[in-house]
Chain A
Amino acid sequence: MDSSPELQRFLEQEKQKAMVSEMVGKLTSECWDKCITGTPGSKFSSSESSCLTNCAQRYMELSMHIMKKFQSMQH
Chain B
Amino acid sequence: MFVAAPQAHSATRVHNGWYIYIKPRARVLLRGDSEEGGIYLSQNPAAISLQLRMDSFSSPLSASSGQSGPSAEVLMDQLKDQLAQAYAEEFFETVRSKCFAKCITKPGTSLSGSESSCISRCVDRYIEATGIVGRALFNSPR
Interface residues of A (CB under 8 A from B): 1-2, 4, 6-7, 10-11, 14-15, 18-19, 21-29, 31-32, 36, 39-44, 49, 52-58, 60-61
Contact = CB atoms under 8 A, between A and B. Distances in A.
Q: At the interface, is chain B mostly helix, strand, loop or mixed?
A: helix
13 contacts: A1-B75, A15-B13, A22-B15, A26-B16, A28-B130, A29-B94, A32-B126, A40-B102, A41-B121, A52-B133, A56-B132, A57-B136, A57-B141
B141 to A, nearest CB: 4
Contacts of A10: 72, 76, 79
A55 B135 CA distance: 12
A61 B130 contact: no
B129 interface: yes
Chain B CB within 10 A, most for which of A28, A49, A52 = A28
Interface of B: 9, 12-16, 18, 20, 22, 24, 37, 68-72, 75-76, 79-80, 83, 87, 90-91, 94, 98-99, 102-103, 118, 121-122, 124-126, 128-130, 132-137, 139, 141
B129 A28 contact: yes
Contact of A6 (B70, B72, B125): B72
B32 to A, nearest CB: 22
Nearest to A4: B72
Contact of A1 (B24, B121, B141): B24
B130 A24 contact: yes
List 3 tightest A-B contacts by C-beta distance, closest first: A56-B136, A57-B141, A18-B15
A21 B15 contact: yes
Given A15-B14, A21-B15, A44-B125, A56 B87 contact: no
Contacts of B94: 25, 29
A52 B129 contact: yes
Interface centre among A22, A40, A44 (most CB of B within 10 A): A40
Given A11-B20, A40-B122, 18 more contacts: A1-B37, A1-B69, A4-B72, A7-B75, A14-B14, A18-B14, A24-B130, A32-B129, A39-B103, A40-B99, A40-B118, A41-B125, A42-B121, A44-B125, A49-B132, A56-B136, A57-B139, A58-B141
